[in-house]
Amino acid sequence: MLTLNPMNSSFNKLLTFKILITVLMVSIFSTNFLFIERVDALSDSKQLVLDAWTLVNEGFYDPEKFDEIQWKRIRQKTLQKQIETSEEAYSAIEDMLRPLDDPYTRILRPKDYELLKSSNFGSEINGVGLQLGEDDDSDKVKVISTLGGSPAEEAGIVSGDLIEKVDGTSSEELGLANTASKLRGESGSKVLVEISTESGEIREVDLERRSVDLRPVRTKRLRDDSHTIGYLRITQFSESVPRKFEEALQELKEKEVEGLILDLRNNSGGLVSSGIAVADSLLSERPVVETKNRNGIKDAIISQKETSFDGPMVTLVNKGTASASEILAGSLQDNGRSTLMGEQTYGKGLIQSLKSLGDDSGIAITVASYLTPKGNNIQGQGMIPDKLLDLPDASEYGSADDKWVRNAELFLASLLEKEEVSIQNIELSNEENMP
């Protein structure tokens, strides 16, 4: 009778040991997984960090940067930190975003998020009236422009100045977002700012924060012996600008203006959609801007057929003209709709999207870059005017002593006179051809 020999005892022990190890490992990993999930679910501060990482991961315009900086590993290391409060979460998010090397992708604490929304959607903001960017040649914060009638303008701070310190802390240490945050505050409170000028002069100014009336659209009529010209200044692109711009154009047309001076000096941008809407009012079925997102897709935005004003134009720009203002200026220049006069513009060609996080905070994420209709990249380069002006800025834009506006006025008058001569020649030609 044939029988099978039983497995030897050594083999059975080895098999039992392997099974036990496998069960133990599964148990450990399952327990750890459940523990991590449970901690994340219970920790609001860590969830804030994870939400911020996810929004950036899904929206940031340059995903190749993620591989370069090991973006997933950064998330893992950040979530391993002790993060128990909202402030610790904000600091952790700042550390997490720093390797992206994009000052415009940033965490916005509740106060900063509310103030930024107010400046985009409201008509006034508390602060010193500075619009800031990052200096390409250093890690310092640079003044893009000052708001008209603001404490900063009254103190003589101008576009191109560098913010060295705010209340004794260097702007290099603070970074762009925190520098802007420290400059804002309750109306009546003061802040000490150390400024360095382009000539190298360093000075301290004690600024008192107050409510600054943004007044985004301002107009006036300019008249001489021969012509009536409209002057229209846009200080920033808030939500209300397209409607206010249309109202201003209608008012100027009722005053029978023959040409228009559009003043975008020291307009550092705002809502891109508002800048595009203004371009739409001035262009007829023409490309306004091309956007390039993370997938490399370029979408040309085309203006509608109807225009609100089709007369001759001059657009004034300077080194404080940035972002949405450059989109508008570039669309007018590339389509031959308006002559650009002034200085080379700032050169901010990146578009940010604002996203809400928990506890009333938010995050700004660079989601796309933009190009002018002819494919010119504005980022870091800016717009070069058709006619450069080497003139000092006026103390008040649009005033009688504003030489930039006077130059634009004379140029428009010459265009109008050429049009009149051309019309007269056509009329004479028609008369000669009559039987």
Alpha carbon distances (Å) from 260 to 56, 120, 263, 310, 408: 42, 26, 10, 9, 9
Q: Do residues 406 and 306 share a domain?
A: yes
Catalytic residue list contains 323? yes
Give the pLDDT mean for 173-179.
Answer: 81
Q: Do residues 55 and 131 share a domain?
A: no
Domain membership of residue 428 (yes or no) is no
Q: Do residues 414 and 296 share a domain?
A: yes
Domain membership of residue 423 (yes or no) is no
Report whether pLDDT(16) > 90.
no
- Confidence (pLDDT) at 41: 53
Which of 334, 338, 355, 369 is catalytic? The answer is: 334
Residues 157, 146: contact at Cβ < 8 Å? yes
- Confidence (pLDDT) at 118: 67
Q: Do residues 307 and 185 share a domain?
A: no
Q: What is the pLDDT of residues 273-298, one digit of tens each?
A: 999 999 999 999 999 999 988 988 88
Q: Which of 194, 213, 232 is the last residue of a domain?
A: 213
* pTM score, whole prediction: 0.75
- Confidence (pLDDT) at 29: 41
Give the pLDDT mean for 351-368.
Answer: 91
In this structure, what CATH number is given to the domain that contains residue 339? 3.90.226.10
Domain membership of residue 407 (yes or no) is yes
- State how far the Cα of 202 lies from the Cα of 183, in Å rounded to an integer: 18
104: DSSP letter = T
Q: Do residues 221 and 335 share a domain?
A: yes
Domain membership of residue 316 (yes or no) is yes
Q: Do residues 166 and 200 share a domain?
A: yes
In this structure, what CATH number is given to the domain that contains residue 52? 3.30.750
CB neighbourhood size of 297 (10 A): 10
Q: Do residues 97 and 56 share a domain?
A: yes
Q: What is the pLDDT of residues 411-424, one digit of tens each?
A: 999 998 887 665 55
Give the pLDDT mean for 155-166.
Answer: 90
Domain membership of residue 381 (yes or no) is yes
Give, for 328, the enclosing helix (H) or strand (E): helix 324-334
Q: Do residues 198 and 235 share a domain?
A: no
Q: Do residues 268 and 367 share a domain?
A: yes
Residues 281, 242: contact at Cβ < 8 Å? yes
* Number of domain units in the chain: 3
Q: What is the pLDDT of residues 303-339, one digit of tens each?
A: 999 999 999 999 999 988 999 999 999 999 999 999 9
In this structure, what CATH number is given to the domain that contains residue 202? 2.30.42.10
Q: What is the pLDDT of residues 61-104, one digit of tens each?
A: 999 999 999 999 999 999 999 999 999 999 999 999 999 999 88
Domain membership of residue 398 (yes or no) is yes
Residues 332, 315: contact at Cβ < 8 Å? yes
Residues 108, 115: contact at Cβ < 8 Å? no
Half-sphere exposure for 256 (CA within 13 Å, toward CB): 3
Nearest to 78 by CA among 59, 42, 53, 103: 53
Question: Containing domain of residue 406, as a range?
Answer: 217-418
- Confidence (pLDDT) at 135: 78
Domain membership of residue 112 (yes or no) is no
Give the pLDDT mean for 129-151.
Answer: 81
Residues 369, 222: contact at Cβ < 8 Å? no
Q: Do residues 145 and 258 share a domain?
A: no
Which of 165, 244, 348, 355 is catalytic? The answer is: 348
- State how far the Cα of 363 lies from the Cα of 379, in Å rounded to an integer: 21
Q: Do residues 255 and 366 share a domain?
A: yes
Q: Do residues 349 and 266 share a domain?
A: yes
Which of 45, 86, 323, 338 is catalytic? The answer is: 323
Catalytic residue list contains 348? yes
Domain membership of residue 6 (yes or no) is no
Report whether pLDDT(13) > 90.
no
Q: Which of 178, 213, 248 is the last residue of a domain?
A: 213
